[in-house]
Amino acid sequence: MILASEVLIVGSGAGGAVTAATLARAGRDVVIAEEGPWIDPDAIQPFSLDELAAKYRHRGLAAALGQPGIVYAEGRCVGGSTEINSGLYHRLPPDLADEWRATYAIDEFSPAVLDGYADRIEAELGVSMLPVASPPSSAVLADGAAKLGWRAVEFARVFRYDANGRGTKQTMARTMIPRAVADGARVVPDFRIDRLVTRDGRAVGAKGHRTDPDGHREPVTVTADHVIVCGGAIQTPALLQRSGIRANIGLGLKFHPTIKVAARFPSAFDHDDVPMHRVTEFSPYLTIGGSASRRGQVALALADSGVDYHDALADWENVVVYYAAIRGEGSGRVIAIPGLSAPLVSYRVTDADLSRLARGLVHLGELLLAAGATELYPSIVGGPVVRAPAQLVEWWDALSRSRANLMTVHLTSTVRMGEDRKLTGADSFGRVWGHGNLRVSDASLIPDAPGVNPQAAIMALASRNAEHFLATT
């Protein structure tokens, strides 16, 4: 199969979908290549095992190598990770925008500029607070923080609510992708781009293969005047490296190392959604929040403790999973290895990061006990089950490199943007150095871990970069 387009967009998540919708609305001829399938957002129950198998890369089984290793998650479907995340929404903190603008010499990156794009994205998608009382699993965070005198906030979400307070997550497959298609964009699902084709310092297309439902692979070639890679902080640098583009590509991987606690309460809790409250007393370097807590997630969190958890699992409706996440000082790498379809991902957790995680774990335990939890199972192999505040001190020594079970969902910084070519892989608007018509527009441009869900920042950047593309091509 041979496809031709003016603009080839690789990936359909927050960056790719916003880019496609913006360019298609302006009349550009757009093809969106998505490695994963196109699944109706209403077809599969959120946070279920079926969703894990259908929408996650490697069925959710991915990890950054290191001591300790860190499990991470990526969406692999039309809409990308917007189809599987919680929909929590937080603009990039203005002090970080100022800091990164100065450090990396990023043009048009002031808080005022970014807020202007965020205003438009929010109006277009629908970003709002829960219009009814918070569910008990979320109220736990607010109640525990209030008892300890800590700050806590309820985050807005990328949701639209009806008159009865029922919400619908505004994923890219529900919003930007249909809008792009209505304006003429073509979406090709189940299409993996193996490498970009470059000639004389320009990207002229890509080669890959499409897989049909029976598993048959068909080679596909795309010709394009412009290529915009939006595969995320792991897949974008891997594709660029496979295509022979390596300068400052795949270095400096950043994310939020996260440790969890499965908290048991005296009565049953809700398990249908992710808590909206976050404890911000220690932000931006430490954040406390709640996670998905269906039976499967509860079982995994209890198993992370490595102790006898059968009684708690039998009582799983009384158990909710919470976390402490840090902005670590460690970093990692993404390396494409010839002959392997998946890149090698590694991450180095520093001693200071381990100390911050231990502090976060203890603070999380304090909060949950203050909110009425009766048993706390930490994600530490053999970690003590805590039932009283005096026992929390035992977690400090228990959290070690060999016993910590860590995870993350926010990955950034592998093709940093800015005008300082020694520190970046692309310019301020995502143009890859040395390739004038090849751009990146996703989480990999964000220079460091933002301390909040990066989706808002990704969409604002993608909108900004797409407008710059339209103004300069």
Q: Is the peptide bond before 68 cis (omega within 30 degrees of 0)?
A: yes
pLDDT of res. 47:
87
Collapsing DSSP to helix, strand or coil, 283 comes out as coil
- Cβ burial, residue 208 (10 Å; 0-12/13-18/19+): buried
User: For residue 44, is it within any domain?
Assistant: no
Residue where one domain finishes, among candidates 391, 408, 425: 408
Query: Of 226, 256, 277, 410, which one is the catalytic site residue?
Result: 410
List the CATH number of the domain containing 344: 3.30.410
Residues 98, 230: one domain? yes
Examine the domain organization and report whether 380 and 292 are in the same domain: yes
CA distance 446 to 185: 26
Instruction: Say yes or no: 199 and 289 in one domain.
Output: no
Tell me, what CATH number does 29's domain have?
Answer: 3.50.50.60
Tell me: do 85 and 223 sit in the same domain: yes
Confidence of residue 33 (pLDDT cuts 50, 70, 90): very high
pLDDT for the residue 19: 98
Q: Specify whether the CB–CB gap between 44 and 54 falls below 8 A.
A: yes
Q: Using alpha carbons only, what angle is made at residue 95 by residues 91 and 98, rounded to the nearest 5 degrees?
A: 105
One domain, residues 300 and 153: yes
- Mind listing the pLDDT tens digit for each residue in 299-320? 999 999 989 889 999 999 999 9
Q: In the annotation, is 256 catalytic?
A: no
Q: What is the pLDDT of residue 65?
A: 97
Buried-state track 8-24, b at ≥16 Cβ within 10 A, e below 16: bbbbbbbbbbbbbbbbb
Q: Are 84 and 59 in contact (CB under 8 A)?
A: no
Calculate mean pLDDT across residues 382-391.
Answer: 96
Q: Which helix (DSSP H) or strand (DSSP E) does residue 457 occupy?
A: helix 455-472
Alpha-carbon gap, residue 112 to 117, rounded angstroms: 9
**Domain annotation covers residue 65:** no
Q: Are residues 421 and 319 in the same domain?
A: no
Residue 59 Cα to chain centre, angstroms: 16
- Please report whether residue 372 resides in a domain: yes
Q: What is the mean pLDDT of the chain?
A: 95
Domain boundary residue among 357, 382, 408?
Answer: 408
Residues near 161 by beta carbon (within 8 Å), at least 6 away in sequence: 128, 130, 131, 167, 168
Residue 195: what pLDDT? 97
Cβ atoms of 41 and 159 closer than 8 Å: no
Residue 236 identity (one-letter amino acid):
T
Domain annotation covers residue 62: no
Classify residue 54: in a domain, yes or no: no
Tell me the C-alpha to C-alpha distance, in Å, between residue 112 and each of 108, 213, 459. Answer: 9, 47, 15
pLDDT at position 436 over 90: no
Asked if residue 227 lies in contact with residue 205, where contact means CB atoms within 8 angstroms, the answer is: yes
Which residues, 6 or more positions from 300, have their beta carbon under 8 angstroms from its beta carbon? Answer: none
Contacts of residue 306, defined as CB under 8 A and 6 or more positions apart, other chains included, come to: 380, 381, 382, 383
Q: What is the pLDDT of residue 373?
A: 98
Q: How many domains does the chain have?
A: 2
The crossing angle, in degrees rounded to 10, of helices 455-472 and 111-125 is 100
Do 281 and 395 fall within a single domain?
Answer: yes
Q: Are residues 391 and 292 in the same domain?
A: yes
CB distance 431 to 93 below 8 Å? no
Structure tokens at 223: 């010709």
Q: Which of 392, 408, 424 is the last residue of a domain?
A: 408
**Does residue 308 form part of some domain?**
yes
pLDDT above 90 for 163: no
Which residues face 9 on adjacent strands? Answer: 32, 228
Do 82 and 228 belong to one domain? yes
First-to-final CA distance of the chain? 28
C-alpha dist (Å) from residue 354 to 212, 285, 330: 45, 13, 10
Give the model's confidence band at 182: pLDDT under 50 very low, under 70 low, under 90 confident, else very high.
very high
16 pLDDT band, cuts 50/70/90, is: very high
Indicate whether 212 and 265 sit together in one domain.
Answer: no
Residues 6+ apart with CB under 8 A from 460: 91, 92, 114, 117, 118, 121
Spatial neighbors of 271 by CB under 8 A, at least 6 apart, are 137, 293, 294, 295, 298, 317, 320
d(CA 10, CA 123): 26
The boundaries of the domain holding residue 359 are 136-162+257-408
Query: What are 41-65's pLDDT values in tens digits?
Result: 999 998 888 998 999 999 988 999 9
Task: Using a pLDDT cut of 70, give the percent of the chain over it.
Answer: 100
> Same domain, yes or no, for 228 and 330?
no
Other residues' Cβ atoms within 10 Å of the Cβ of residue 197: 16
Cα angle 310, 316, 320 (rounded to 5 degrees) comes to: 120
pLDDT tops 90 at residue 181: yes
pLDDT at 284: 87
Q: Is residue 48 part of a domain?
A: no
Q: What count of other Cβ atoms lies within 10 Å of the Cβ of residue 410?
A: 23
The reported pLDDT for the residue numbered 275 is 94
Residue 282 has pLDDT above 90, yes or no: yes
pLDDT number for residue 230? 98
Q: Among residues of the chain, what percentage have pLDDT more than 90?
A: 90
154 with 287, same domain?
yes
Q: What phi, psi does 268 have (nearest 5°)?
A: -70, 150
Distance CA 253, CA 265 (A): 37
DSSP H/E element including 109:
none
- What's the pTM value of the predicted model, to 2 decimals? 0.95
Residue 164's pLDDT is: 80
Residue 279 placed within a domain: yes
